[in-house]
Amino acid sequence: MPRTRTQAIVIFSFIAFITSCTAPEEQLVDTFLTAVRDGQEEMIQGLSMVNLPDADVQSWEIVEVSPETTEPYHLAELGAAFFEATKTWEDNVAENDKFLNDNEENTLRYRDRTKADPDYKFTSGAMAEYQEEWERRVEEVRELASVVRATDEALKRERANTYMSANMVARETFEGDIEIKTVRVNVNGDSGSRTYDLTLRKYNVVDSETGIKPISRWIVTEIDG
């Protein structure tokens, strides 16, 4: 997703600012909450993948910063998981189509009955066996579709996180790791005080095909509280 000129100025000004500080993750949180307090939507969108649950912000205090952890960058693995989930779902749908065609008479009877009464149950014989098998297949397809949606969302989220942190469109040839920290902050507003845990990530990646290594920065990826 292309940045506006204002967002680009915000991002690069922020990068220049935090490079002079010893704790860039704390500066990120301060800048983010300042933007929330002042209603600076473009600034918020340039720093965080998520919104603060309550925009009622007057002041805040960082009370804890977790030790830094790392995890492997796994865009390629997420892409493979989505491909495999999609293929499994498609194969299952094709098998179900064949099952319906192979049992055309029972299929018509089942549809007629359940159209009139969605809760109807055949109690014995071939139709009872058909209903049990078909409804098992339907539930399996639903579960597989849920897996497809989940893997698709995870892949899209990782691509978006990469783009915001590294300022480059994610490629499956990217390799590297992700630095992770959690910052706990008490936020005061007109309605009282709330405590949030902000998860920050920094995508340290390199394109194994071109050798290009973008300058990455910390971003907010999750907010709990």
pLDDT at 23: 83
Return the SS3 of 106: helix
Return the SS3 of 165: helix
Residue whose tokens read 């915000």: 10
pLDDT at 64: 95
Q: What is the pLDDT of residues 18-63, one digit of tens each?
A: 445 458 889 999 999 999 999 999 999 999 999 999 889 999 999 9
Any residues with CB less than 8 A from the CB of 31 and at least 6 apart, and which? 14, 17, 43, 47
> To the nearest 5 percent, what fractions of the chain are helix, strand and coil?
55, 25, 25
Tokens of 166: 């590294």
Residue 53, phi-psi category: left (phi > 0), alpha (psi -120 to 50), beta (remainder): alpha
Domain boundaries, the chain: 5-73+166-224, 75-154
pLDDT at 11: 53
Compute the distance between CA of residue 222 and CA of residue 61 in angstroms, rounded to an integer: 18
